[in-house]
Amino acid sequence: MSSKRKNGKGREIFALGAEAVVEGALLAGCSYYGGYPITPSSEIMEGMAARLPLTESGVFMQMEDEIASLGSVIGASLAGRKAMTATSGPGFSLMQELIGYACMAEVPLVLVNVMRGGPSTGLPTSPAQGDVQQARWGTHGDHSIIVLSASDVQECLHMTVRAFNFAERYRVPVILLLDEVTAHTREKIVIPTPGTLEVIERLQPSMPPEWYKPFEETVRGVPPMPPVGSGYRFHVTGLTHDDKGFPTGKPDEIVQAIERQFRKIDQFFFDIQITDDYHCDDVETLVVAYGSVARSAQLAVTQARQEGIRAGLLKLSTLFPFPRAALERHLRTCHTVIVPEMNMGQMSREVKRVNNGRAKVVTINRVDGSIITPSQIHDKLRKG
Amino acid sequence: MAEVTQLIHHYLRHDKKFPHVFCPGCGHGIVLGSLIRSVHALSIAKDDVALVAGIGCSGRMAVYVDFNTVHAVHGRALTIATGIKMARPGMHVIVVMGDGDALSIGGNHFIHAARRNIGLTVLVLNNFIYGMTGGQCSSTTPTESWTTTSPYGALEKPFDIVNMATAAGANFVARGTVFHVKTLDRLVQQALTRRGFNVVEILTPCHTQFGRKNAFKTPVDMYMWLKKNAVPLESYEKLSPETAAKRIPIGIFAERDELPLEDRHAEMRRKLAGGKA
C-alpha cells in the first residue's frame, strides 16, 4: 500500500474494504483480535495479524474455531481491552450463543460479519445480504443489540470506529455487517490522523470497590465497567442476574435487568441511528438500501432524477435498532418505496412494518450470488 | 477452627446469598477448599486471580468465591480464560470445569489450549457424569455404568483426561482426588506456581446422579472407593497388570518447562520493537 500525506488531515491509501476495517479498528483503539479464517472475511484477520503486534499492547490470536474466537474476545474485553473478531455466515452462526452471553453480561465488543450466500456453507465468496435478521435475532431470548453496515471502503473505516464507540458507550456487542462487494472493493481512502476522530472509552467506576455494583441501574442505563484485575472484583454470568451480578430467579429482578438492557439502547435512538438522504427533498419514489446495494441505488436515483423522476435514496448505515424515524419522515410524501437487497426480503420486512400500508412497498430480491445493478433499480424507478 | 472461619470470611462472598447448590456428599466443596487454601498458602492477592468456570455444578463455584469471577457458557470457559490471560498475562487465571465441559462440549478448546501451552491453571472436576442436567452419560463415564442416557450400561470408552492433556502438550498434568486432600492441596499449589498450561484432574464423587445408581449406597461408599482405588503413581507402577487395570493412578504425570504462549508473545513483541524480526 503506497500512501501520501493529504493536507495534514490524514493519509491516502488504496485499500480493500477489509483493510479499511483494520485501519478503523486500530484508530478506535482495538488491542485484541481473536478470529478464525473464513472467506470473505479473512483479509480482516490477516491485516490484524500483521498490524496488532506492532502496536503498543496489541494481541492477535488465531483460535481453533469461531466459538473460541468470540469467547476469547469476551475474555479480553472483560480484561479491559477493546476487542474484535470478524467472520462470515457459517462462523457467524456458530457465534450466536456467545453473542447472547455478551448481551446478557453486557460485554462491549465488535463483530464484523462479511456476509456470503447461504444458508449453510452457501456461496463462499459471492455477495449476499442474508444475515440481516440473524444479526438482529440470531441468539435466543429477547435482547437489544446494535447492527451497522457500510457501503464503501471509506465508510468501512468510519463505521468500524463507530462500532467500537457504540460498543464501549453502551456496553453491548456491536455487529458490523458488510457484504462481499464492500469488503473486496479496492478504493482510495483517507486514513484520518490519529486523534482527529472521536474515540469513546468505556465508563469506569469512581466509587470504592466495595460500593460498586456491576449491573446497577444508572441514569443512562449503562453501568461503569472496570477491567478484571483492577481491584473491582465482581461476578460475570450469562444467567439472569441481579445488580451485583449474582444469579437470580426473582421476577422483579429479572424484569429490571432485561428492561434496563433494552432501555439503554432505546433511549439513545437519536445517537445510534445513522442514515443518509440523497435527493429526498420532494421524494415520491424512495429507495431504501444498505451495503453495496446503496451504491447501485445512488446511481440509479441520480439517473432517474435526470429523467425528471422524483426519486430519492435513504441509505441505512444503522440496520438495528431500525431507523424508524428516518423512514417515517419520507412516508409523508412517498407513494412508492423500493427495497432492493441481496436476500429474499429481510429488511423490507422492517420497512413494511413501519410503512404500515401507507405507501406501496416494492422489493427487488436477488440471491444468485450477483450484485444488484443500478439498471435493475433504475427499471423499477421508471415503473414507479 | 477460628483460622478456618477467617479463611472463609476472607475468600467467600459475604453478599452472595448462601446456601450453595452442592448436594450432601458432593466433592466440589472440598475442591473449593483446596483452591482457597492453595491461593492463601501462596499469598496470591485476590485481585490477581481470575476464576473462569464452565456450566453445571462446578460452574457455580465461581459465584461463591471473592475473586474476579466469570461463569461462562457450556464448554467455553477455556476460550474466555484465553482472552483474559492474553490481555493480562500477569494474572493467575484459573479455570474450573466439569468433565462434560472440559472433554465433551469443550474438548476441542481443551486440546488446543494445551497445545498452545497458554498459562492457565485448569481444574477438571471429574465425577463421570452430567450432574446438573440430570445424570446423563459424559465422555468420562466408565464403560457399562448406568446413566439416564445409558440405561442398559454405557457402551463407549471413556477419555483419560491425563493422557489427553499430556499428549496435547500441557506443561503440567496431575490427577488427584477429593479423598486425598493433602495431596490435592499440593497438586493445586504446584499447578498455580508453574508456568504454562497446568491441568489437575480431580476425581470427585457425584452421589446423587452417579453413585446411588451405580451400586454405591451412600456417599461414604464413594469416598471409600476413591480411597481404595486411587493409588499414588509410584505404587501403581509396581502393581501387577491385573490389579493395575482396576486402579487409578494419582500424582504428577507430566512436568515440562516449555515456554508458555504469553511469553512467546512477549518475546515476539520485544523482537519487533527492536527491529530484529
Chain A residues close to B112, C-beta within 8 Å: 63-64, 68
pLDDT of res. B4: 83
State ipTM: 0.97
Q: Which of B210, B32, B194, B184 is nearest to B129 (CA)?
A: B210
Residue in A52, A78, A243 to test binding to B, most B beta-carbons within 10 Å: A78
8 A C-beta contact, residue B169 and residue B197:
yes
Q: How many domains does chain B have?
A: 1
A112 Cα to chain B: minimum distance (Å): 18
pLDDT of res. B263: 98
According to CATH, the topology of domain A276-382 is: Rossmann fold (3.40.50)
Chain B residues close to A54, C-beta within 8 Å: 272
- Please state, rounded to an integer, the average pLDDT across all residues of chain A: 96
Which of A54, A75, A231 is the closest to B83 by Cβ?
A75
- Angle (CA) A198-A204-A209 rounded to 5° is 175
Chain A residues close to B272, C-beta within 8 Å: 53-54
pLDDT of res. A150: 98
CATH number of the domain within which B211 lies:
3.40.50.970
Does B179 fall in a domain? yes
Chain B residues close to A235, C-beta within 8 Å: 13, 62-63, 69-71
Does B14 fall in a domain? no
Whole-angstrom Cα distance, residue B239 to residue B247?
Answer: 9
Q: Which of B167, B112, B49, B69 is nearest to A69 (CA)?
A: B112
pLDDT of res. A8: 65
Asked if A53 and B269 come within 8 Å (Cβ–Cβ), the reply is yes
Does B156 fall in a domain? yes
According to CATH, the topology of domain A11-191 is: Rossmann fold (3.40.50)
pLDDT of res. A145: 97
8 A C-beta contact, residue A52 and residue A59:
yes
pLDDT of res. B124: 98
Residue of chain A with shortest Cα separation from B105: A67
| Residue carrying C-alpha cell 456496553 | A171
Q: Where in chain A is the domain with CATH 3.40.50.920?
A: 276-382
Which of A97, A101, A228 is the closest to B88 by Cβ?
A228
Does B189 fall in a domain? yes
CB pairs under 8 A between A and B: 133
Asked if B73 and A101 come within 8 Å (Cβ–Cβ), the reply is yes
- Taking the CA atoms of B184, B190, B192 and B198 in sequence, report the sign of the dihedral they define: negative
Say if A67 is an interface residue toward chain B (CB within 8 Å). yes
Asked if A76 and B84 come within 8 Å (Cβ–Cβ), the reply is yes
The one-digit pLDDT tens for each residue of chain B (277 residues) are 688 888 889 999 988 767 889 999 999 999 999 999 999 999 999 999 999 999 999 999 999 999 999 999 999 999 999 999 999 999 999 999 999 999 999 999 999 999 999 999 999 999 999 999 999 999 999 999 999 999 999 999 999 999 999 999 999 999 999 999 999 999 999 999 999 999 999 999 999 999 989 999 999 999 999 999 999 999 999 999 999 999 999 999 999 999 999 999 999 999 998 865 4
pLDDT of res. A2: 44
Q: b vs e for B167-177, b when ≥16 Cβ sit within 10 Å of the residue's Cβ?
A: ebbbbbbbbbb
Does B226 fall in a domain? yes
Does B10 fall in a domain? no
Q: Which long-range contacts (CB under 8 A, 24 or more apart) does B21-26 make?
A: B21/B57, B21/B60, B22/B57, B22/B60, B23/B206, B23/B207, B23/B208, B24/B207, B24/B219, B25/B205, B25/B207, B25/B208, B25/B211, B25/B218, B25/B219, B25/B220, B25/B222, B26/B57, B26/B204, B26/B205, B26/B206, B26/B207, B26/B208
Does B20 fall in a domain? no
B274 Cβ contact list (under 8 Å, min separation 6):
none
Structural domain boundaries enclosing B90: 25-237+245-273
pLDDT of res. B66: 95
Residue of chain B with shortest Cα separation from A228: B68
CA distance to A169, A255, A380, per residue, from A224 (Å): 10, 20, 49
- Taking the CA atoms of B65, B70, B74 and B80 in sequence, report the sign of the dihedral they define: negative
Does B114 fall in a domain? yes
Residue in A31, A72, A107, A243 to test binding to B, most B beta-carbons within 10 Å: A72
Say if A225 is an interface residue toward chain B (CB within 8 Å). no
pLDDT (tens digit per residue) in A163-197: 999 999 999 999 999 999 999 999 999 999 999 99
A253 Cα to chain B: minimum distance (Å): 14
Asked if A229 and B66 come within 8 Å (Cβ–Cβ), the reply is no
Residues of chain A with pLDDT under 50: 1-2
pLDDT of res. B121: 98
Residue of chain A with shortest Cα separation from B273: A54
pLDDT of res. B14: 82
Report how far Cα A40 is from the mean position of its chain's Cα atoms. Answer: 17
